[in-house]
Structure 1
Amino acid sequence: MTEPDLLIAAKELDAADPLAGFRDRFLPADGVSSYLDGNSLGRPLRATEEHLQGFVREQWGGRLIRGWDEQWLELPQQIGDELGATALGAAAGQCIVADSTTVLLYKLGRAAVAARPGRTEIVLDADNFPTDRYVMEGIARECGLTLRWVRADYDGGVSAEAVAACVGPQTALAVFSHVAYRSGFLADAEAITSVVHAAGGLVLWDLCHSAGAVPAQLDAWNVDYAVGCSYKYLNGGPGAPAWAYVASRHQADFQQPIQGWLGSADPFGMAQGYQPAAGIRRLVSGTPPVLGMLPMRDMIALIAEAGIGAVRAKSVALTEYALTAVDALLAPHGVVVASPRDAAQRGSHITIDHPAFKAVTAALWEQGIIPDYRNPSGIRLGLSPLSTSFEETFTGISAVLAELRR
């Protein structure tokens, strides 16, 4: 297809898009004509601007300290339940908002290895997000464990077969990303979880690059633990708190490694000696970040309105269109697709590689074209289904072509 043909196709796809109206729910960004980085930081909702102003004025300013007793202390679990029902396939009482992804990875990882005493290995893949690897390296050092690495293809990710070759009687925990941060590979979480369980280990899934764009079924997949951030497809804003899932069967024995007052059985009793709260609240350590968690509630409601199935269908359509445009316009200039071409194995972003892309990305940002750069030579096109249009996707890819032609 030619550049004019691709533009016509984008306009037609936008006209037929049943979710097109949702784009108006997001605040516009002055000077930005193509925002293709929703997999790093989602755009803010108009409703969030209004709700935050109202909260400061009416809740924080009006209720003051009374707000904690009236509703704020319950928000982490309430929002967790909403997220679980809307996008994670998790029954109530298993998800909670707290801390950062890094801190939650540590909490869940430490609890998991404590739940498998006598086992000596943590299994993870060498191309997982650095935080996941670094946190598990620290846990292994603290607990005297060994890291066992699963290898994955550069343009792919972890398969059940590769995991089966690495797990065994010494596996305490396996840690993988549902969608790979670089390639966008969508792992078969159900099959991999089954493989690890067959070896007697536990599984911790990182859903940072899938929650809100790719449906999950944590309960049906028999997942043990999961974690994810909320500032990507959940549009919680920069530094928004993360969320965690602990299957109900693991909660009674969950050993909290960061024992804080709010995760205790009676926080306001101020008793001597820590006694954990019942249920998912024992995962909490300190005071919940109320202001930080409010925006994600707005986005969860929007996803619920659209339907996570429809969101996924739009994601697939966007990435399919982007691949078509890359093949037609950029491949002749040496650009290589470093993501799966099978939609069933792909999340909501694709990565394309070219030696000039670091400089190209900087030039694009100056023009209000915002993709994402990842070493060693990749541009990630993050296509957030409810805020990204097909024409916006075309604009970004066309701008990459213009830079390569210079």
Structure 2
Amino acid sequence: MRALIASSDHPLAQRVQAALADQGLDCPAGHVVPLDSIADRSGLVHPDLIVFVLPDEPRAGLPALRETRNTLPQVRILAVGPTTDARLILETLKQGADEFLDRQNPEGDLFGALERYRSLHARRDTGPKGGRVVALLSPSGGSGSSTLAASISAVLAQEHGDCGLIDLRLGVGDLASMFDLRPVRTLADLCEHVTRLDQSLFEQFLVRHASGVWLLAAPSQASDVARVTCKGVRRALTLARVRFAHVVVDMGNLLTGEQIEALWQADWILLVLRLDYTSVRNTRRIIDALTDLGIGRDRLRLVANGLGQRRQLEVEQAEAAVGMKVAHRVPYDAASVHAAVNSGVPLVLHRRFRKISRSIKSLAHSVNGAAR
């Protein structure tokens, strides 16, 4: 069981941390965060339990509590504050806390609250699991990551009823046209409402395709790209993981702060490369950059796209240069790809029985599970 503590009161946070440790809960020092950071951090850590310590002016902490509840509607939240104000207790519960514990005796109240939580947790088994994030990153332009992202999401939607798809190729996103969709709202609009974003509002920024794919589109205008924020991307991914069993993210070939947010949350990162010198060289650079960010190779998979063209590098040459094995090979079929793009239908739906479609379906099946 994983716990987070939200507190700006360091001595009280230490007492709560010690009490959690006594009860066998995992709460390292890095899981004690300030109140104004708890909503974002909870989206990254995905805790089972949050202990929310109200500040000296308790009502000043309620907006952060509400934001945290909107971000993770399933998590158990225990608020800690003064029990002398009945109205404050009621307001705290209305803002999203499941229980209110006495600030003067957090250890004793925590023991009972954790016993109740364990009993509830046992009755409902493990509860809903967070969805898996599959990010597609292209070391070079023209690698075909958008075509793969569209088709992988369509395959996962067929298998699970629906699938989230987020276009992070800001300013140049092609996914809407690949599904023949005309989104009214984009990621840029979502970011402007991030402080009041909950599950219901989040879904208003998505557009649904008949295949079961729900797209959060990238802004198409350069002037709108500046409205996209790291916090908005982080919140969108967190809410998408709650809503969908799988979330596919098309990231293009950039490593901006917004893309890095997605990489940190990704369970699988598919590096989509061409078998040419430039793409292989850039792939090695991307892997080194991801290593510097603390993203391990166990979450990376190399996907060689467009296999079978004349004068390509051999797969073995690319593997030697990159220092990793190619996990999947997608054959070259430009005619089918162009036909699908021009029709506004994902390739695996437009050319179901082509070899390239069968290969992409196999790739989708390979990420239909957790990497960590």
Considering the TM-score relative to the shorter chain, is it more than 0.5? no
- The structure where strand makes up a greater share of residues is 2
If asked which structure has higher relative contact order (CA below 8 Å, sep 6+), I would say: 1
Q: What TM-score do the two structures reach when normalised by structure 2?
A: 0.29
Q: What TM-score do the two structures reach when normalised by structure 1?
A: 0.27
Q: Which of structures 1 and 2 has the bigger CA Rg?
A: 2
